[in-house]
Amino acid sequence: MNVRDFIPQHKMDHEKTGQLKKLDKDLIRSVIPELMTWLQDGNWPVYPEIRDVLLPLGNELVPHIRYVLETTDEDWKYFVLTGLVSKLSKETIVQMKPELIRIAYNPSESEAASELDEVARELLRHSS
């Protein structure tokens, strides 16, 4: 079985996301980067399904979330912070504290324009 066969091919690919939900976490781990790309827009129909597949991986998502936070894609950051990170445990969120502090108190111009600083401050408040 090739787990990549279960990665959605389009934003309405509920068939693939339904199959993903049935896979073992060990298989899901190998495609976290590909699945993270489906969190670029919270309006995509597959977004909540992909998020729900990823959430049980908890701490294992941290490096992948950090990658997103280092990009200049403010929408992706927003949807990852509000839709994924906000649902992770406090213990997991604390691991991203340096990144959240930077965004909260020293955001780039585009991060501030996207209100990511406010989102980051809220996450920091709830993870304390």
Q: Which domain holds residue 10?
A: 3-127
Lowest model confidence (mean pLDDT) among 4-8, 74-78, 101-105, 117-121: 4-8
Question: What's the confidence (pLDDT) of residue 58?
Answer: 97
Query: What is the average pLDDT value for the chain, to the nearest integer?
Result: 96
Q: How confident is the model at residue 69 (pLDDT cuts 50, 70, 90)?
A: very high
Task: Quote the pTM value.
Answer: 0.95
Domain count, the chain: 1
For residues 35 and 28, the answer to whether their CB atoms sit within 8 Å is: yes
Q: How far apart are CA 53 and CA 6, in angstroms?
A: 12
Q: What average pLDDT does the segment 107-119 reach?
A: 97
Q: Residue 83 is part of a domain; what is its CATH number?
A: 1.25.40.750
Q: What average pLDDT does the segment 50-79 reach?
A: 98
Count the residues in the chain.
Answer: 128
